[in-house]
Amino acid sequence: MKKSFLLVFVSCLSLIACNDGKSGNGIYYNDFETMGYWSDSPKIVRNIGHSGTFSVFTDANNEYTEGFKVRMGDIKISNQHLVTATAWVMANDVNAKSQLVINIDSSGKSIAWVASQTQPVILTPGKWFELKCTLSLPNNLNPDDKLFVFGWYNGSGKVYYDDLLIKVE
Contact 83, 102 (CB under 8 A): yes
The per-residue pLDDT for range 20-51, each reduced to its tens digit, is 434 456 788 888 887 766 677 888 888 999 99
The per-residue pLDDT for range 156-165, each reduced to its tens digit, is 899 999 999 9
How far apart are alpha carbons 115 and 98 in whole angstroms?
A: 10
Q: What is the pTM of this model?
A: 0.82
Phi, then psi, of 60 in degrees rounded to 5:
-60, -25
Predicted local confidence at residue 38, as pLDDT: 66
The boundaries of the domain holding residue 89 are 2-168
* Number of structural domains the chain divides into: 1
How far apart are alpha carbons 149 and 24 in whole angstroms?
A: 18
Indicate which CATH number applies to the domain containing 17: 2.60.120.260
Q: Is the per-residue pLDDT at 111 higher than 70?
A: yes
